[in-house]
Amino acid sequence: MKRLIVAILLIAFVAVSIPTASSVPAVTQSLNIILTKQSPFPVQPDQIADIEVSLQNTGYGEAENIILEVLPKNPFILVPGQEAIKSFSRVPAQDHVTATYKLYVDKNAITNGYELEFNYYQTGTDVKTTGKVIIQVQGVPKLVVEKIETQPENIEPGDSVEITAFIKNVGTGSASFMEASLVSNTSYILPVLSGGLDYIGEIKPGETGQAKFEMSIDNAAEYQTYPGIMSFSYKDESGNSQVNTFAVGIPIRGKPIIDILSAKIDGSDFKVDIENIGTANAKALKILLIQGGKTVDSAIANELRPAKSKTVRFTGFEYGQAAVNISYLDESNQFFSEEYPVSINPSSASSQESSGGGLSPLVPVLIVVVVLESYYVWRLRKRAKK
């Protein structure tokens, strides 16, 4: 009996010591994907990135017949010739396998971290796991000068002008801490104080900034387009200093203005002095003397520069009221015409001569001759009396 009891207790102990099937830990696999390499890092838009990912099995069981599929979406495109699906016969427990891809980055991508998706699953099953890695894309700023405005619109010698440049960032990265400068290659155009510099700040992709400059135009500047250099210094998204320069033209147009200085009789001619009091050349001048609604005489001149004068003479006129019509072209061939009323009257010297009034220039000479002759006769008579 005692032996039977010992045997029963021994059997019971063995039964308790042996674990049941439900209590044995299952041998499982655990797969996940990570990014192990990106070259270049970061990648720029319109470039190709080499991507290496690792499919890791962190479980205690081996994974067999595993499919890894990349699912690129904007801004990524799988480079032609690259396989989207890769197969692995086994992924050992606590080990990994790697896969590489070449991805083209869209040229319009902006700076950001973009998700790249993968599906991985066992062959013959519909159960798929999705994993994601982050690909870093860094844009590059690109500046263009959209337009330039001036105030006043037509720049003349002697003006102070405000020049506004509109700068657009058509790139994919921001331009920060931007400063602008304008330098002319001539001494005729100079900045007013610090008017040749302007701070803009940041221009993000797709945005437009403005730079304003205050410049002074010398009075001696001529009708032409003067060259200048517009520069923009900034930092890109990597913190590197960059400088973009643009050649610009500053047009000095001016305006010719022809005026009459004097108009009078000179001998048998009617003399008219004209002057260009404007700021640009006048060319193809035509000067008409008009009386009674008809042109009685005319004169022409090829060119009259600013601050220069010219004398024209007319004949065939009559005394009385008349008009002088002056027409000309500027350097851009714009036509100008002005008419000035004048009076044609005899000069004071001419009127005196015609009426016989006034003293002849020979009168003083005759007086001297008479005095000398009288003195000579007096001396002769005095000697005769002795």
Structure confidence by residue, pLDDT tens digits, 294-309 = 999 999 999 998 889 9
Give the containing element (helix H, strand E) for 10: helix 2-17
pLDDT grade for 355, boundaries at 50, 70 and 90: very low
9 three-state secondary structure: helix
Structure tokens at 85: 């699906």
- Of residues 381 and 126, more confidence is placed in 126
Report the pLDDT value the prediction gives residue 183, as an integer from 0 to 100.
94
355 three-state secondary structure: helix
CA 172, 173, 174, 177 dihedral sign is negative
CA 236, 239, 245, 250 dihedral sign is positive
Distance CA 37, CA 51 (A): 6
**258-349 CATH fold:** Immunoglobulin-like (2.60.40)
At 17-30, the pLDDT tens digits run 444 433 434 457 78
Distances 14 to 17, 24, 235 between C-alpha atoms, Å: 5, 17, 78
Distance CA 253, CA 213 (A): 19
Question: What is the pLDDT averaged over residues 181-195?
Answer: 91
pLDDT grade for 116, boundaries at 50, 70 and 90: very high
| Cβ–Cβ under 8 Å, residues 96 and 54 | yes
Distance CA 350, CA 295 (A): 25
31-137 and 143-252 have identical folds: yes
**31-137 CATH fold:** Immunoglobulin-like (2.60.40)
Domain ranges (residues) in the chain: 31-137, 143-252, 258-349
Distance CA 141, CA 159 (A): 36
Question: What is the pLDDT averaged over residues 93-114?
Answer: 93
pLDDT grade for 348, boundaries at 50, 70 and 90: very low
Model confidence at 357: pLDDT above 50:
no
Model confidence at 100: pLDDT above 60:
yes
Amino acid at 82: Q
CATH pick for 143-252 out of 1.10.1530.10, 3.30.565.10, 4.10.520.10, 2.60.40.10 = 2.60.40.10
- Mean pLDDT score of the chain: 85
Question: What is the pLDDT averaged over residues 56-73?
Answer: 94
Model confidence pTM above 0.75: no
Report the pLDDT value the prediction gives residue 223, as an integer from 0 to 100.
80
Question: What is the pLDDT averaged over residues 159-164?
Answer: 95
| Residue showing tokens 């331009």 | 175
pLDDT grade for 219, boundaries at 50, 70 and 90: confident
Report the pLDDT value the prediction gives residue 306, as an integer from 0 to 100.
86
| Closest to 99 (Cα-Cα) out of 146, 137, 61, 54 | 54
Report the pLDDT value the prediction gives residue 246, as an integer from 0 to 100.
95
264 three-state secondary structure: strand
Pairing label, strands 85-91, 63-71: antiparallel
First to last CA, the chain: 217
